[in-house]
Structure 1
Amino acid sequence: MKVVHLFPVMKFGGAPIVVLNLIKDDKNNIHIVISKKDDIELSKEFEKYSNKLYNIDTLSVSFESILQVISVLYREKPDIIHAHGKGGAFYTFIASFILLKPAKIIYTFHGFNNKFSGIKSFIYKLFEKSFSFFVDKYIAVSNTEKIKVIESNFYNKNKICVIPNGVSIEKKELSFDKLIVLKKYDYNIVTLSRISPQKDLETMLFSFKEIVAKSDKNVGLHILGGYIENDKEYAQKIYSICDSLNLKNNVEFWADTPFASSYLHYFDLYWSTALWEGLPTAIIEAMMQKVPVVATSCVGNIDLVNENTGVLTPMKDPTEISKIIIEFFQNNHYVSSVENAYNFVNKNFTAEVYTNNILGLYHEVLNENSTIR
């Protein structure tokens, strides 16, 4: 079986990590990757484990990239094209239209959300409706994402299944200079967050300002993640807010950090203020390393965090969030939730579980008359 995976960019995050874990685990099939190289270390991993890697800029829309993707799919003749996220879906749609659907198509949302308005929203809905004629199976990565997808009325609900993201953890040692940074603080909070509106780091910073003011501890907030070019303006806004709140002595921007999840065990608390998710791999990774989790009650987060596995907060409410986190500092009730969370994610969200589920789906969509390469 030959599978082509199409996602926008090789940056540490949900879709690339899930694909990487799959191609590491599955040695019996051919996995080809089409994506834009970005993070050097992650790109090396894909070069090492994929059968073929095509460095094509699918992060933005260009005629050159469209032609390159069409050429690759025509030449490789895959059994399955697996599109990850909107970027992967767009290029898969164009190529499928030109090549008259050259393979079975699976589309994983990785955070379903129509964030557009006006004419952009109309175009997006038109695209999703048109693409639906080519898609054989949709994958929602959480139960709440599936509900949201069905409620949108864009899709045939009989084509939608749930396969949660799966991750694996390899703990790494921090460099000496990073250890010095952590030792500056009594309590270290971490978030693995691309700097984008989805993660709502504005609320995080305003809430953290109140935490610093009211806590009797010297608290550090560590934001592990950079930004893509499309979010550059938002990133500058976040840096400006941090300066205006006089938080420079307590907030550490680590930028893009290779294998950032491997260092989560050094931190005291994992924090998410996301407005929506598919199924956040970072929260799974924190739970696997027995780091307590506080997260907003958004789609995706609530599939992982509840009263037994962590603490949920409202969205876009800095004052209430700060109260919850300060109370969290002062109580040890989270000890049992850490153990519960650890057992929960290791039972349901490992890379092995994901690999078994996704390979089962691949074989399901290939009908009996398909010639598997």
Structure 2
Amino acid sequence: MMLSRTSRLNLGLGACLSCGLATAAADAPSVHVYNWYDYIGATTLKDFQRDTGIQPVYDTFDSGEVLEAKLMTGRSGYDVVVASNFILPALIKAGALQKLDRSQLPNLKHLDPVLLEKIRANDPDNQYAIPYLWGTDGLGYNVDKVKAALGSDAPVNSWDLLFKEENLAKLSQCGVALLDAPAEVMPIALHYLGLSPNSSNPDDYKKAQALLLKLRPYITYFDSSKIQSDLSNGDICLALTWSGTVFGAKQAADQAGKGVKVEYSIPIEGAPLWIDNLVLVKDSQHPAEGLTFINYMLRPEVTAAATDLALTANANKDATALASAEVRNSPNIYPSAEVIAKLFTLQPQPHAIERVRTRAWSNITSGR
């Protein structure tokens, strides 16, 4: 995951596209797609229909938990969805996804083998998932406000900025936000404590809970949808969030021209790497059209358009050169090999541990 990566587009965009495309001839072949609401090029759906004659019926979501629940219950009505790497094992185990007929996906040749290898941790034989866009969890911050609170030597490149109580106490005066995402925040806390981010030891979660409860009085809110706007407006000065969210906030702040300086850092201790993937739903009513859509999304120019819009790296080795220089040259969007080596992927946990984590998160967010 995961929850939404950025919120640069109005939620209504997906709905409007869906409504507009639904007016196409009723007898036209169709494909039903469920995606994050900012994860496709501005003209891609229209271009796809023009080029293939297939009508895309497109819906959007901003919560990975919503997506997972919809697929787990079955009969979602979708053919292709975009699923984050850490929920893939559960979906595969539940039989919610189809194995992909790779002979129908000639554009697989464009995929980056490094990202294909990374996703093997969640899709062992690369049978179900096609890596699409990827990024990191890290720290988004207001340059001037953090400097005012902590001085010019503020540890903006370290998790100490967030997890050291003396730092957070000062930053609380200008606003601190965390993703409302226990499956991501709890592993980061575990990692900071020197424990496995994918621990299956209940005692480890007690330690992570204790750390976060100590910090709870200084956290303004837990939310996954308003961090971008609050960062760009200067309403908060620190956020644990997704990379794309911060890049969107920075772009919005720069365009507003009000002097709000937003930056992003991948902490030197390491951070989660998430990969969002194109998958084919098991009970798809239009599997052939679904494969056609996936293959179309693998066109370098199509992937590049999504990268530029989402301000997020892609897994298409031939698309990066087509992306804007601003995106492809950003070390936070496309980190160095040294930084990538410290990134870790998240794994689903047994139900017993999920319950422990859920209870811990409830205690943390409520301050109990």
Provide the TM-score with structure 1 as the length reference: 0.36
Q: Which has the higher contact order (CA 8 A, sep 6+)?
A: 2
